[in-house]
Amino acid sequence: MSILNIIKRLFGQEKSSPAQSSTPQPIEPTQASTPVEEVKDSIQTAMNEVTDNIIEAAEPNPTPNTNHEDYSMHHVIIGSGPAGVVAAESIRKLDPKAMITLIGDEPEPPYSRMAIPYFLEENITEEGSHLRKTDNHYDNKNINVVRDRVSSINPDDKTVTLESNDSLLNWDKLLIATGSHPISPPIPGLDNPKVSNCWTLEDSRKIVEGVKPGSVVVQIGAGFIGCIILESLVKRGAALTVVEMGDRMVPRMLDQQCGTMLKTWCENKGVTVLTSSQVNSIEDKGKRLLVSVSNGEPIEADFVISATGVRSNTAFLEGSGIKVDEGILVNRHLETNVPDIFAAGDVAQGLDFSTGEYTVQAIQPTASDHGLISSKNMVNPGSAIHQGAVLMNVLATLGLISVSYGLWEGVEGGESAELVDTDNFRYIRLQFDGDKIVGANTLGITQNIGAIRGLIQSKTALGVWKERLMENPLNFMDAYVGVTGGHT
């Protein structure tokens, strides 16, 4: 199965294939035979298709109203990432007479951060990162794109203030989809010109300029974002050292066994990985930087990249009356505590399918889902209910695929089943609550992997399949077909 089909299945877009034999099979050796380029291209293509298909599902294409004096409702969307773009296009399909304003604070057209690694590898131009490739796409849909930053919101007057000239913009319905920003750890020297985040196209231009073949690079952080960037730096020919505070790679996505195996994989590919370590300081020595780490010798580097996580963009909401915790608090319609104001994507603290709690899930599938649901409720109040996002991450790191689903760390009183093949970098661990699968970690396993998501999302009682999976967790596809008939 291609990586494209794997991702489609992860997002529920591919029908399940017939079950394989339920006879326990040994773990087959992994192959990094699929070229890294194909792996990453397939993932990006699938992500684009997911977003496009979400939009196509909204309603038939109408003819947009181009007379702003005769509009039904003014929808203002703050944030031009996936959540904002999906919402704007969905509103246009649902209401051809609506006036739509999409505000983005970066100079480029709306783009996908998921495409930045391709730009770093010089596989695409900047235009290739744009969420919509067609010329005049937003003009053709009569979506007014404003490049500015919103400094404040006044819910009483239903206005937003634009930062550039303090001008006011009125709205009838407002969607906040401002995303997130990189966290800057308190490291002396982090503001050096030879240090960069990797979050925006502007950051990526700086990296392209500063990282050449043979450059010595230190990357701070081996989380999800860090592991996406890691491969691009290797492809640029950098001699790379990754410094991670946690005791394993991607500690918020992978368990101890899985994260440790990923570390070994990266080291086998020539990357130095320091776990349980941190950067203490960055000192400018002229041509090079001296990076001091907590458990090793100082590293002379040409460039440093900070990838230490992100935080929701909510500072501008101070004084607005909109309730904020880790993100903007929303109900199941993705509406805030203030009527007619909605939130979506990285900035929204929405329902987690697995736990029933409200959390921030900074991943693109959730952003697109939020964009669609919030837009439906903006046009037709109460028409769409958010069922909760299944926490899921899929990561391609130097050709090795790792996946986490749901409550991958397990639940109190639960059970787990695992198979480990360290020699061939293959791993699976299923987490059970009673006779239901509630979470999973996999490494180097791609075939029919979407069946695990199906079992989690359907909350299906496994019956006799529980014991069969405890004996051999690789039987998840047989279990999926056996208990669901192949349908979630």
3-state secondary structure 253-305: CCCHHHHHHHHHHHHHCCCEEECCCCEEEEEECCCCEEEEECCCCCEEECEEE
> 355: pLDDT confidence band, cut at 50, 70 and 90?
confident
- E strand or H helix at 321: none
399-485 belongs to which homologous superfamily?
Answer: FAD/NAD-linked reductase, C-terminal dimerisation domain (3.30.390.30)
Decide if pLDDT at 2 tops 60. no
Cα dist from 461 to 71, 250, 409, 440, 464, whole Å: 50, 30, 20, 16, 9
pLDDT of 69: 61
Mean pLDDT of the chain, nearest integer: 87
- Averaged over 401-420, what is the pLDDT? 95
Domain boundaries, the chain: 74-181+311-379, 195-308, 399-485
Q: Is the pLDDT of residue 58 over 90?
A: no
Residue 395 has pLDDT above 70, yes or no: yes
Q: What pLDDT shows up at residue 64?
A: 54
Distance separating alpha carbons of residues 27 and 261, to the nearest angstrom: 15
φ, ψ of residue 345 to 5 degrees: the values are 85, -150
Q: At what angle do helices 3-10 and 450-458 cross, to 10 degrees?
A: 10
Angle, in degrees to the nearest 10, between helices 36-56 and 3-10: 40
How does residue 124 score in pLDDT terms, banded at 50, 70 and 90? very high
pLDDT digits (tens, 9 = 90+) for 224-250: 999 989 999 999 999 999 999 999 999
DSSP label at residue 81: S
The two most distant CA atoms of the chain are separated, in Å, by: 68
Report residue 57's pLDDT band, with 50, 70 and 90 as the boundaries.
Answer: very low
Q: Residue 47: what pLDDT?
A: 47
Check residue 199 and give its pLDDT.
95
Superfamily of domain 74-181+311-379: FAD/NAD(P)-binding domain (3.50.50.60)
Residue 362: pLDDT band (50, 70, 90) is confident
- What CA–CA distance (Å, rounded) separates 365 from 375? 16
User: Is it the case that residue 151 has pLDDT exceeding 90?
Assistant: yes
Specify the range with the lowest mean pLDDT, choosing from 80-94, 280-294, 434-448, 474-488. 474-488
Q: To the nearest 5 percent, what fractions of the chain are helix, strand and coil? A: 30, 25, 45
Same fold yes or no, 74-181+311-379 and 195-308: yes
Residues near 443 by beta carbon (within 8 Å), at least 6 away in sequence: 254, 258, 261, 262, 400, 401, 402, 403, 425, 426, 427, 428
Model confidence at 39: pLDDT above 70: no
**Which CATH entry fits the domain spanning 195-308: 3.40.50.300, 3.50.50.60, 3.40.1280.10, 3.30.750.24?**
3.50.50.60
Q: What's the pTM value of the predicted model, to 2 decimals? A: 0.84
204-227 pLDDT tens trace: 999 999 999 999 999 999 999 999
Any idea what DSSP says for residue 317?
G
Question: In the predicted model, what is the mean pLDDT of residues 259-279?
Answer: 98
d(CA 420, CA 76): 50
